[in-house]
Amino acid sequence: MDAMDRLKTHMDGRLRELTKKRSEGVKVVGYAPGGYMPEEMVYAAGAIPVCLIRGGDHEPVAESGAYIPRFIDTFCRSQIGYRMLEDEPIYQLVDLLIVPITDQNMRAVAETWSFYTDVDVFRHGVPCNKEEAGYQYYLGGLLRLKDKLESFTGNKIEDGKLREAIELWNRMRSLFKEISLLRKGKRPPISGEEFARLSHASLIADPPVFVEILESLLEELKKKEGAEIAGPRILLTGSTLAMGDYKVFPLVQGAGAEIVIEEFAEGIREYWNNVEPNGNLIEAIAETYFKKRVPPAWFSPSVDRIDFVLDLAKDFGVEGILWYQLLYRDAYDMQTPYFEKMVKEKADLRMLKVESDYDISERGPMKTRIEAFIEMLGTR
Amino acid sequence: MYTEVFRLCGYEDDEIEKERPRIDKAFAKLGLEKEDMARAEKRLQENFDLGLQGVRKLLHVWMDELIALPLCREEYKTVIYSDWPLPGPMVMAIQRMSDDIYVGSIGEVLNLGMGIIFDKLTPILEAGEEAGLGVGKSHCALWQTHIGGITSGKIPVPDLMISPNWYCDQPAHADQLLAELYDIPTVYMDGVLDDQWGQWPEISEHMIGYMGDQMEKCIKKAEEVTGYTMTEEARQGGLQDTFALYLNFNTIVEMMAKADPQPISHADLNLAFWMFFTPLRKKELAMDGLATLIGETKARIEKGEGVVPKGAPRIYFGLRFAIDSAIFKMVEGLGLSPQVVFIDWMTPLEKTPPKSTRWADLVMEAFLRRGVVHSASGAIEYVKTYFKEWKCDGAILCWPYSCRPYTQPVMMTKKMLKEEFNVPVLLLEADAYDTRDYSAGQLRTRVETFAELLRMKKAA
Ligand code: SF4
């Protein structure tokens, strides 16, 4: 069985496995995506980290309207809707929800779950700048998170266990990086959509099993030669790429192009930097998760993000940028005017912004605009 | 062309003459013309009780601010812009560092001046949309105005922007856009609201301390840009400016909450509310205006006079409109008495003196002590306390189209009111800063039905 098949089998049985573990007393700790909640700490506390990363469906968005006004980001509204609809089982398994407060949209998820559900919700803040004071604040939040996890699970987060977890996640990040870099070539062995699905699976799968599968997958991919990309190479960016929200991939492919690299604040695992598994481990985690991480658009200032995207575009031979905007994610929407100007001025790159509220009616206009954009890139 | 407008705003004729060159210049920059004056006169007469001298004085203060803003570049050495949710005492303390410095909460000044008085805010809002805070994306209209004022060229480019990023994150995104496109020096006052559910009224020290440090960072930047030093006197003065205004305002709020009939309109009181976030050049006149209004309110209560019939259903009304006083007139005209509006009233817990000793921490603690600012659970507790204290007949809760922080607890509050107080609640979608985001006619229809329901319930 090849690695992807093994992954599918594992993911198919994951819900059953989580339910069983939970019935045996293991805590399931849900968390909001965004890369600011170190899964290593949950794992070291003997609990199971599960990211709330589903998206792309209209029903949860509509359902959320009964609980919160509609001017919240589409993905964040979905996280309220999935829980309230009660038809996405993983959302019902959560014993504790951890929400790093990054912006008002994410804060709305925490507030709504607190009021309407009986799930314990823990918030820890993510300052929006990388000054020393911001780092110290984030570090303080991790220490409070550590206390919370210990009291909630009844298990101490000991250095030995935390180091093991860090090493496991470091391996996962390194493997992702290696796989991602394989896409620099003319014949990427893995498509943009496959990579996104892999990233999403990593947020829910059993980490040791997933790392093992990833090891095999890397070996397989090294030997594989994908089809040559005939059309433009595209960088996909935005605030959130949710599990299930894959609609742009076939549209891009159908227009003759391929997404070769992506940059998202939420939904694509951060894999560029590892955590130093020595010294003060919580500080080492904060260093990687906060300081080294590329700032999302809700940081102020956040122009480093633009330089990071430009570097990616250069490294991966990108010819156009597709900006996938979710409705009401204001920080990203407000960054587009100067982002577009800078990528044009600094790298002569063109950008297309498409917007979604997880509504099927968007597909037609989105298709037309993506086709026109790719055609325009092809004629440059 | 504008003499009558200024008279209605409490100016004496000789003052108008003296100010004429400045007014001409300011109005030319703002694009205010002859036909705008007739509209302003009508709006002033319809929306305000100009028989109250206190109201005229408050209008005077806003008119002064509207004239000073477009001229600030020529009249002051350094120009600094800010806006809500930047803590009032901080901007007022910076203003007090020297008379050479202009500090303006530009969105508020434009809202009250170009919005409430002249109803000519739309071109400014459109300029903000054009600059990047696009239409239909629920971008904060206060910040569309803030940005649009600058990009439309109606007000000058500042030397420094102090951008708030603690209660809500939209201002910092908007200022960053402006900073990148127009190369304006900007300092961000960061903050994080990560206290746990139900924790209010306890406020974590880490939150207070971080935001206090950020405030000090902004003050330092203002010192660098202006060349002046922040003194203890200026700090205390900044605190005094905010709290003295607030205490007078609160006196009227409490008088109104107890009185039946409601003595003055919330449209009039609205003029005072927005002053807490705005460094004013004529602070003394604002204080005098409020003191006069206290006396006038008291006199009406003693005479049993009011703006709604005695015994009218009393409601909690959940929003202040910075650009539209007619909404309050409409609600009162339909026979409802908004006993308290928005967060005007301070609960006893909110009045607890802060424990912090450092100036910046003390300011932040006082802000975070407000339930609505602290968290959704704090906001719900605020309304709960209010209903226990004032026992009103129902509530109109509003969610502003463009405000993510304030909208979060609105539906939760409705659920709580239904379950714990069994009172009718009307939910309205509106906007505090942009009249284009709602239809006054539709709001009227819904409030009309609601008023009828409350009257029937009261009579039963
Ligand atoms: S979004 Fe809301 S809280 Fe933020 S500045 Fe606008 S109106 Fe104020």
SS (H, E, C) A260-277: EEEEEEECCCCCCCCCCC
Contact B66, B279 (CB under 8 A): no
Cα(B131)–Cα(B145) distance, integer angstroms: 11
Cα(B165)–Cα(B180) distance, integer angstroms: 17
Q: Which of B403, B431, B437 to mutate to test the pocket of ligand 1 (most atoms within 8 A of CB)?
A: B403
Contact B290, B272 (CB under 8 A): yes
Contact B329, B307 (CB under 8 A): no
pLDDT score recorded for residue A235: 98
What residues of B are in contact with residue A121 (Cβ under 8 Å)? Answer: 196-197
Whether residue A333 and residue B137 make contact (CB cut-off 8 A), yes or no, is: yes
Whether residue A334 and residue B132 make contact (CB cut-off 8 A), yes or no, is: yes
Residue closest via CA to ligand 1's atom 2 equals B403
pLDDT score recorded for residue A379: 83
pLDDT of A1 above 80: no
What are the CB-based long-range contacts (under 8 Å, 24+) for B213-218? B213/A133, B213/B360, B214/A133, B214/B166, B214/B188, B214/B189, B214/B190, B215/B87, B215/B90, B215/B189, B215/B360, B215/B363, B215/B364, B216/B360, B217/A131, B217/B187, B217/B189, B218/B90, B218/B162, B218/B187, B218/B189
Bond prior to B353 in cis (omega within 30° of 0)? no
pLDDT score recorded for residue B402: 86
Contact B127, B151 (CB under 8 A): yes
Please give the C-alpha separations between residue B168 and each of A106, B174, B217, B229, in angstroms, as whole numbers: 12, 12, 19, 29
Report the mean per-residue pLDDT for chain B: 96
- Does the Cβ of B168 fall within 6 Å of ligand 1? yes
Place of tokens 């594992």: A10
Residue closest via CA to ligand 1's atom 7 equals B403
pLDDT of A380 above 80: no
Give the Cα-Cα-Cα angle A61, A331, A183 (nearest 5 degrees). Answer: 85
The number of the ligand 1 atom at minimal distance from the alpha carbon of B142 is 6
pLDDT score recorded for residue B44: 98
Return left, alpha or beta for A133; rule: phi > 0 is left, psi -120 to 50 is alpha, else beta: alpha
Cα(B445)–Cα(B422) distance, integer angstroms: 23
Q: Which of A63, A132, A300 to probe by mutation at the B interface, max B CB count within 10 Å?
A: A300
Whether residue A334 and residue B188 make contact (CB cut-off 8 A), yes or no, is: no
State which residues form the domain around B47: 1-460
The mean-pLDDT minimum among A262-276, A312-326, B389-403 falls in B389-403
If one counts the domains in chain B, the total is 1
Inter-axis angle of helices B88-95 and B232-258, nearest 10: 130
Give the Cα-Cα-Cα angle A124, A128, A130 (nearest 5 degrees). Answer: 105
- Does the Cβ of B171 fall within 6 Å of ligand 1? yes
Q: Which of B133, B168, B321, B398 to mutate to test the pocket of ligand 1 (most atoms within 8 A of CB)?
A: B168
pLDDT score recorded for residue B106: 97
Contact A119, A96 (CB under 8 A): yes
The number of the ligand 1 atom at minimal distance from the alpha carbon of B433 is 7
CA nearest neighbour of B326 among B274, B366, B270, B394? B270
pLDDT of A85 above 80: yes
Report the mean per-residue pLDDT for chain A: 97
Measured in whole angstroms, how far is the alpha carbon of residue B272 from the centre of its chain? 8
The number of the ligand 1 atom at minimal distance from the alpha carbon of B169 is 4
Q: For residue range A216-261, what is the model confidence (pLDDT) as tens digits? A: 999 999 999 899 998 999 999 999 999 999 999 999 999 999 999 9
Please give the C-alpha separations between residue A52 and each of A49, A127, A185, B398, in angstroms, as whole numbers: 10, 22, 33, 30
Contact B218, B200 (CB under 8 A): no
Inter-axis angle of helices B376-390 and B410-421, nearest 10: 40
Beta strands B337-341 and B394-400 are unpaired
What is the signed CA dihedral for B6, B11, B13, B17, rounded to 10 degrees? -70
DSSP B158: P
Cα(B319)–Cα(B427) distance, integer angstroms: 11
Q: Which of B 163-202 lie inside 8 A of A, CB atoms?
A: 163, 165, 168-170, 172-177, 179-181, 188, 190, 192-198
Give the residues of chain B that fall short of pLDDT 50. Answer: none
Contact B322, B108 (CB under 8 A): yes
pLDDT score recorded for residue B68: 98
Q: How many CB pairs under 8 A join A and B?
A: 144
Beta-carbon count within 10 A of A97 CB: 25
Structure tokens at B211: 């935001």
Beta-carbon count within 10 A of A85 CB: 17
β-bridge partners, A258: A233
Whether residue A137 and residue B188 make contact (CB cut-off 8 A), yes or no, is: no
Contact A42, A124 (CB under 8 A): no
Contact B141, B433 (CB under 8 A): yes
Residue closest via CA to ligand 1's atom 4 equals B168
The number of the ligand 1 atom at minimal distance from the alpha carbon of B171 is 5
DSSP A243: B
E strands within chain A? 28-31, 48-51, 96-101, 120-125, 233-240, 258-266, 320-326, 350-356
Task: Assign B188 to helix, strand or coil.
Answer: strand
Q: What is the mean pLDDT of residues A307-336?
A: 98
Please give the C-alpha separations between residue A39 and each of A100, A156, A169, in angstroms, as whole numbers: 12, 15, 8
Give the total residue count for chain B.
460
Beta-carbon count within 10 A of B326 CB: 19
- Does the Cβ of B85 fall within 6 Å of ligand 1? yes
Whether residue B169 and residue A331 make contact (CB cut-off 8 A), yes or no, is: yes
CA nearest neighbour of B40 among B154, B96, B99, B121? B121
Q: For residue range B427-459, what is the model confidence (pLDDT) as tens digits? A: 999 999 999 999 989 999 999 999 999 999 988
Residue A249, exposed/middle/buried by CB under 10 A (0-12, 13-18, 19+)?
Answer: buried
Chain A closest CA to B230's CA: distance in Å? Answer: 22
Reading across the β-sheet that carries A28-31, which strands appear in turn? A48-51, A28-31, A96-101, A120-125
Beta strands A48-51 and A28-31 are parallel
pLDDT score recorded for residue B394: 97
Structure tokens at A335: 């960054």
SS (H, E, C) B326-368: HHHHHHHHCCCEEEEECCCCCCCCCCCCCCCCCHHHHHHHHHH
Which residues lie below 8 Å from residue B100, measured CB to CB, with a gap of 6+?
B76, B77, B78, B226, B228
Task: Compute, in angstroms, the gap from residue B270 CA to the centroid of ligand 1.
Answer: 17
E strands within B147-290? 160-165, 186-190
- Does the Cβ of B170 fall within 6 Å of ligand 1? yes
Contact B414, A115 (CB under 8 A): no
Nearest CA in chain B to A108: B408
Chain A closest CA to B170's CA: distance in Å? Answer: 7
Q: For residue range A121-162, what is the model confidence (pLDDT) as tens digits? A: 999 999 999 999 999 999 999 999 999 999 999 999 999 999
Structure tokens at B404: 């993510």
β-bridge partners, B162: B187
Task: Compute, in angstroms, the gap from residue B171 CA to the centroid of ligand 1.
Answer: 7
Cα(B83)–Cα(B107) distance, integer angstroms: 6
Place of tokens 């239904």: B418
Structure tokens at A128: 């929006």
Residue in A300, A328, A336 closest to B188 by CB: A300
Cα(B93)–Cα(A241) distance, integer angstroms: 44
pTM of the model: 0.97
